[in-house]
Homo-oligomer: A and B are copies of this chain.
Amino acid sequence: MTDVALEPDQSAPGPAGTERGAALYRKVAADLREAITTGAFGEAGRLPAEGALAEQYGVSRGTVRQALAVLRSDGLVTSRRGTRRVVLGNARVQSFSELLSFTHWARSMGEEPGGILDSLVRRPADAAEREQLRLEPGAEVYAIVRLRTLSGAPVMVERTVYPPRVGELVAELPADVVSHTEQLREHGILFTDADHTIDVVAANAEDARLLGCRRGSPLLRERRRTTDPTGTPVEWSQDRYLPGTVAFSVHNSLATSALSRHARDSD
């Protein structure tokens, strides 16, 4: 943790210190996050009072609270009226894109991501797909099946359905492009929100063929619907992982509850 006030952005408009031209509260949050991971708050892990931090960083208490809210939702610190905040755990690396993009995730682990295209078709959307992608009856979709690999080893079967606007872009990508997500981002398709559901299913014949497992053997399934900032669905995907290759992890609290438990729906 710095003892001095945060410097304003460096002279040049480009990248600055720890965080690039970000908001003030993000710089404070980044600095506090580092202080936490380096154990700067001692054994007990009690943070300074908000007022003290405000003075230390030369910002208002509101800004400090914004920074602390970030750490709170990441599960790094507690908060309770009447007492100082306490360090909860060490930082876990996690970012939205890491969850959204197999490629990004693989690289963050130092593994080499791969994608083997199995099929790509344009066809009428079924009822479930129309529901998920909010399409009109009779609308078409692009459906893609890919085998995803880590350093050459099969890990996951990805079945993604795109609405026409997005699918047309994907269909034009060379077959050997590994990250569709990154390509779409460069074409101006923004992924900002996603709903995930995680459960277990038995491998069907296609899963078995692609993953090299037996039919009926268990797979960890993640279904995901992603939308852009306007709320328009841009992707509906169903990923099936071989057991032992992946685990999903989440933090929640009384204050911010994101995860929920459901009875399994029919499909």
Could you list which residues of chain A lie within 8 angstroms of chain B, going by C-beta atoms? 45, 73-75, 78, 80, 83, 86-89, 92-96, 98-99, 105, 109, 191-202, 217-220, 227, 229-231, 243-265
Contacts and interface: CB of A to CB of B under 8 A. Distances in A.
Contact of A99 (B94, B95, B261, B264): B261
28 contacts: A75-B258, A89-B195, A95-B257, A96-B257, A99-B252, A99-B260, A193-B252, A193-B254, A194-B251, A195-B251, A196-B249, A196-B250, A198-B198, A198-B249, A199-B247, A200-B200, A200-B218, A200-B220, A201-B243, A218-B218, A245-B263, A246-B261, A246-B263, A247-B261, A248-B260, A249-B260, A250-B259, A251-B258
A93 to B, nearest CB: 8
A56 B75 CA distance: 34
A78 B264 contact: no
Contact of A264 (B92, B202, B245, B261): B245
A196 B93 CA distance: 15
A133 B50 CA distance: 28
Given A199-B220, A246-B261, A250-B250, 6 more contacts: A86-B231, A88-B231, A245-B264, A247-B263, A248-B261, A250-B260
